[in-house]
């Protein structure tokens, strides 16, 4: 009896949350060649193509080489892809293999579940983004106009796409369905959001259409933080991104709490 009471007194209310967070971090660390090294290699190939071959030959923004312009987009692309993939793949596999039951019986609130998945995804995304940033130094030097704003925007980007990954993981019924979100939503948003070109060079109609793309605000804010130039003000980018993060975070918590698909 005394031993039972002692074990009850040792129980910490945040232990399930820490356990889930640790599980998610260990999951992508165990397969680091796939989750960390491969994305860095892919980004390095982009850097080689646009940095070593085109970097000093063309310029799309006055005062900056093309390599300097495209590097912020490639860093953010690595953060976005890996944050999204971490939450979407993990949650989908839990549902697909049936071990979502283990998560449901844990004394965790929907808020704690979302935060644990999100923190693990942000860690993976920011690690990949940091590695790409270090490698990019071999191709071009960035002025780092506002490092703290750049870090904040990178964290907002990873947070935002971690929520999108959770939503995709809830609604996907197969690997093909999960790939559809990446191929038909994430990649078009990235490539049409201004990773490889400034929207200021587009005709008026396409420029206005690009401003509907939520990723444009992330990319422009992050590039503005690093280079000091952008199509929008930093405040504009942060406000729009922050509001979008709050909306998607709230939607994800509600889906975890009420959606029957999360439990199936």
Low-confidence ranges of the chain (pLDDT < 50): 1-2, 4, 7-8
- Reported pTM: 0.91
- Whole domain around residue 76: which residue ranges? 16-263
Task: Enumerate residues 6+ apart whose C-beta is below 8 A from 211.
Answer: 199
Residue 223 lies in a domain: yes
Give me the pLDDT at residue 162, please.
97
Residue 152 lies in a domain: yes
Residue 11 lies in a domain: no
* Alpha-carbon span 100 to 122, nearest angstrom: 21
Residue 2 lies in a domain: no
Residue 115 lies in a domain: yes
The conformation of residue 229, written as its DSSP 8-state character, comes to: -
Residue 7 lies in a domain: no
Q: Coil, helix or strand for 203?
A: coil
Give me the pLDDT at residue 243, please.
96
Structurally, how many domains does the chain consist of?
1
Residue 129 lies in a domain: yes
Give me the pLDDT at residue 246, please.
97
Task: Enumerate residues 6+ apart whose C-beta is below 8 A from 86.
Answer: 24, 28, 35, 117, 120, 121, 124, 125, 162, 165
Residue 1 lies in a domain: no
* Alpha-carbon span 147 to 224, nearest angstrom: 10
């Amino acid at each position: 009896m005394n031993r039972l009471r002692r074990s009850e007194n040792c129980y910490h209310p945040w232990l399930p949350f820490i356990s889930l967070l640790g599980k998610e971090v260990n999951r992508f660390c165990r397969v680091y060649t796939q989750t960390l090294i491969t994305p860095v290699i892919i980004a390095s190939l982009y850097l080689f193509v646009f940095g070593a071959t085109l970097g000093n030959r063309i310029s799309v923004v006055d005062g900056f080489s093309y390599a300097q312009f495209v590097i912020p987009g490639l860093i953010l692309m690595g953060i976005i892809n890996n944050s999204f993939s971490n939450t979407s793949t993990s949650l989908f596999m839990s549902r697909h293999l049936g071990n979502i039951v283990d998560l449901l019986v844990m004394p965790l609130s929907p808020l704690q579940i979302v935060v644990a998945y999100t923190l693990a995804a942000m860690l993976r995304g920011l690690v990949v983004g940091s590695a790409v940033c270090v490698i990019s130094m071999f191709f071009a030097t960035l002025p780092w106009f506002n490092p703290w704003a750049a870090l904040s925007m990178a964290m907002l980007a990873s947070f935002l796409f971690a929520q999108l990954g959770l939503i995709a993981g809830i609604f996907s019924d197969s690997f093909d369905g999960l790939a559809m979100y990446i191929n038909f939503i994430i990649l078009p948003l990235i490539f049409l959001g201004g990773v490889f070109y400034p929207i200021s060079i587009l005709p008026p109609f396409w420029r206005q259409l690009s401003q509907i793309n939520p990723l444009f605000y992330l990319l422009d804010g992050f590039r503005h933080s690093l280079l000091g130039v952008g199509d929008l003000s930093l405040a504009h980018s942060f406000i729009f991104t922050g509001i979008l993060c709050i909306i998607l975070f709230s939607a994800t918590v509600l889906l975890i709490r009420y959606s029957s698909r999360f439990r199936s």
